[in-house]
Amino acid sequence: MKKLLVISFFCLFCTNTVFAKLYKVGEKILNNKIEIDKISIELSEGDWFVSRRDEAHYGWLTQFIFGFIRIEDGEIMEVIDFYDGDMGSSFMAYIDQEIHRMTFKDPYDGCYQRPEYFLLEYYKSGIVHNCFVIGHWDFMKELYNPDDAHKKINSVDYRRFLEENSFEIPKVALTSWHSYFSRHNRSNWYRIFHVINPKALNAPKNKYFTEETSEYHKYNIEKYPQHKKVMNEWMSISAQFHKKFEILNNAKKHHKLELDKYIITTKNSQPTKDIVTNLKKLNDLYKSGVLSKEEFEKAKTKILNQ
């Protein structure tokens, strides 16, 4: 980790000095819920494990990072990385300037348009920012050979956890990034990074696996309608989460993003809920033999078309 506040895009949740729970690497999550500081997040059903814990203390400034991985049949299905930094009230000019630089000026990742980002929505005014990004990953590249070589240290815990357990790593993953900071509410800066295996959304198989050639790249996706449909579902799920994330941060009304246009609604105009969980339950029924392949495909189509 670099000097003060230099934390990679691979972080999701970090917390300050007060926790509902302190998680330990290797621990299994038993209640399908992450509870850190003032943030509580419901997890999709499955086997979740703590795979990362970092902390840094610089006097009055405290930072924590926790990483969580969901495993199914020996394969990674989801990763949630949680960053919470208590920015305190001292040296605010320096700290706020550094947060702005990391969010909007990082040459490798940040809240600005990049080729690998499928969608970017943000609000920025002075030191306040609210950022929502949808993209895709070359998973192995991000773990072992990121564009910013200095950030490889941020995935050490993940790599060690995965290598010790021999879990299968998806070649391509969909991602969402959520970041909010405002001195008007509290001194904490929360960032969440969510990675999902397209298989969890019953996506078609990929033929191309690099960041540039992936079917999910915004310059390629129009040629692959089934992949585009999966990406739209992911945007809907992530947009719903970001709206909850804004509420958890007590975001002011004028700081909130207009995300309803990305949320897929059912015939009775209710947002789709727990798509990942419903697809997993359906897949379990199919694997157990309760559903035939034809019944499985019909039910899957119904869930994705809601």
> Which tens digit of pLDDT belongs to each residue from 77-130?
999 999 989 888 888 889 999 999 999 999 999 999 999 999 999 999 999 999
Distance CA 142, CA 267 (A): 39
pLDDT at 8 over 50: no
Could you report the per-residue pLDDT of 230-256, keeping only the tens digit for each? 999 999 999 999 999 999 899 999 999
On the question of pLDDT at 261 being above 80, the answer is yes
This prediction has a pTM of 0.82
CB 54 within 8 A of CB 22: no
What percent of the chain has a predicted confidence (pLDDT) above 70? 89
Kindly tell me the burial class for residue 289, based on how many C-beta atoms sit within 10 Å of its own C-beta (0-12, 13-18, 19 or more). exposed
Note the pLDDT of residue 18. 39
Amino acid at position 298, single letter: K
Measured from the Cβ of residue 294, the count of other Cβ atoms closer than 10 Å reads 8
Mean pLDDT over all residues of the chain?
86
Domain residue spans of the chain: 28-264, 266-306
Which H or E element spans position 159? helix 156-165
Residue 138: band (very low, low, confident or very high) from pLDDT cuts 50, 70, 90: very high
Return the pLDDT at 75: 96
Give the C-alpha separation, 186 to 16, whole Å: 12
**Mean pLDDT highest for which of 11-15, 283-287, 299-303?**
283-287
- Predicted confidence (pLDDT) at residue 267 exceeds the cutoff of 80: no
Cα(68)–Cα(71) distance, rounded to whole angstroms? 10
pLDDT digits (tens, 9 = 90+) for 283-298: 888 788 878 888 877 7
Q: In the prediction, which pLDDT does 291 show? A: 81
At residue 59, the pLDDT reads 74
Both structure tokens of 128: 């306040």
> Other CB atoms closer than 10 Å to residue 265's CB: what's the count?
12
Q: pLDDT grade, residue 269 (50/70/90)?
A: very low
Give the strand pairing for 61-72 and 39-42. Answer: unpaired
Q: Which two tokens stand for residue 253?
A: 């009304």
Beta bridge partners of 179: 131, 191
Range with top average pLDDT, 22-36, 219-233, 286-300: 219-233
Percent of the chain whose predicted confidence (pLDDT) is above 90: 61
Q: Reply yes or no on whether the pLDDT at 153 is more than 70.
A: yes
